[in-house]
Amino acid sequence: MRSETAKVLHPVAGSPMISHVLDAVDKCGADPVTVVVGYDGDAVTAAVGERAACVWQKERLGTGHAVAQAKSQLRGFKGDVLVLYGDVPLIRPETIKRLLRTHRRSDALVTVLGMTVDGPSDYGRIVHDRDGGVRIVEASDAGPDERDIVEVNTGTYCFDAAFLARALRALDSDNAQGEFYLTDLVEAASRKGRASTIVLDDDTETLGVDSRLDLARAEALMQERIIMKWMDKGVTFLDPSSAYVSLDARIGKDSVIGPGVKLDGTTKIGARCTIEGNCHITDSTFGKECRIRWGTVSEGADASDGSILGPYARLRPGAKLGKGVHIGNFVEVKNSTIGAGSKANHLAYIGDSQVGTDVNIGAGTITCNYDGFAKHKTVIGDRVQIGSDTQLVAPVALGDDVFVAAGSTVSRDVDDGALVFNDKRQMTRSGWVESFRKRAQAAKRGK
């Protein structure tokens, strides 16, 4: 990966790869769960949190050595032990359950999850002997005939716990890599006639992420999976290949998602919404029948039914919009509540404010909420009309039904029903333009 970050912490669909694997085993009811950590193990342990116990592999001496580090967590455990890689984010719970069913039905000591590949690969080959035995030959140890085998090991297994404990103690490192191979346990179980295999229907599930290219492939496959799920639930994607939807996002039926839309985090989009395109929405909630126009960005915001945003609007954390609110082009809202039916259609900044219902905020209006040391609140009542190019210098409150004349600076509270304005005398100098041009041209010739 050429990264200072542990491989399993690189995100796919907004979550670290290790989280996807933990999700899969959680849905299978696995308990207890242990994660073997090595490089950047403190960060991996922090990311895993309470979801699993973490044990350290101080030296990396192979897959068998890695699994052996979990022996303290499995002491006295009687049952089936699943072994999976943390860098295989596309593994499905249904596949793990199938592996488990096959293992139990065949009364196996070990069951291997395999897949078929086209052409050469670095995967270990699954070799089926004529007498019914099964063994796995690592690519580095494979001969010419073995390299031609297309059935390969994915690295996912189900073991009988007692057999696993005994066999790990007997492992040696007599191989080309000088490592303890977990694959040697398959041959040990096979000698007892109790090794089995299953082959994946979809080999993309076990794509191991070993490079940035692999990470991009995993992301593309996960996005295809997520977007197909939402289309099956009644959501339209105008260009599925350009959309991005996080695993935790939710989209209501009959919504339409345009090209270049990115839905991050825990975003929730209600039914019958339209997101036109090139929008980035993170950890935000939109009600039903909202329209989010081109280029809109929203983070940590909530908008009620029928809201219209954009084009090129920005909602910052703490923005809360009532029903039918219009936030137009190049309007920014931060940490503010805006009441139902209110509009700010052009070029405005609303920060740290409480705005009532049916308010109209004219173009160029700003709430001056910061004095260089602290943020202050602006309160705007119901049915207030604010003219263009107005500055509201917080802390300040406007009552209900206030009219603010265009170009005003409001720094004191205003009573209900009042007109507030700054008296600015208009001055005109007739013929000034012609005189100015003559002076300017004469100055230019003088140069």
Residues 6+ apart with CB under 8 A from 157: 82, 83, 110, 111, 112, 113, 182, 186
Pairing of strands 151-160, 80-83: antiparallel
CA count, 13 A, side-chain hemisphere, 288: 3
Structure-token pair, residue 225:
């999976």
Separation between Cα atoms, residue 244 and residue 91, nearest integer Å:
20
Structure-token pair, residue 69:
């580090």
First to last CA, the chain: 62
Hey, what amino acid is at 375? K
- Quote the radius of gyration of the chain (alpha carbons, Å): 32
Residues 6+ apart with CB under 8 A from 252: 235, 269, 270, 271, 272, 273, 288
Separation between Cα atoms, residue 13 and residue 244, nearest integer Å:
8
10 Å CB burial of residue 337 (0-12, 13-18, 19+) is middle
Reply yes or no on whether 280 is catalytic.
no
Collapsing DSSP to helix, strand or coil, 379 comes out as strand
The one catalytic residue among 20, 280, 346, 376: 346
Separation between Cα atoms, residue 250 and residue 76, nearest integer Å:
42
246 — alpha (psi -120 to 50), left (phi > 0) or beta?
Answer: beta
Separation between Cα atoms, residue 322 and residue 358, nearest integer Å:
10
User: What are the beta bridge partners of residue 375?
Assistant: 370
Closest CA to 83 of 75, 74, 216, 264: 74
Structure-token pair, residue 347:
């070029």
Strand blocks (E) in 289-413 = 291-292, 297-299, 302-303, 308-309, 314-315, 320-321, 326-329, 332-334, 337-338, 343-346, 349-351, 353-355, 360-361, 366-368, 378-380, 385-386, 391-393, 396-398, 403-404, 409-410
Active site members = 346
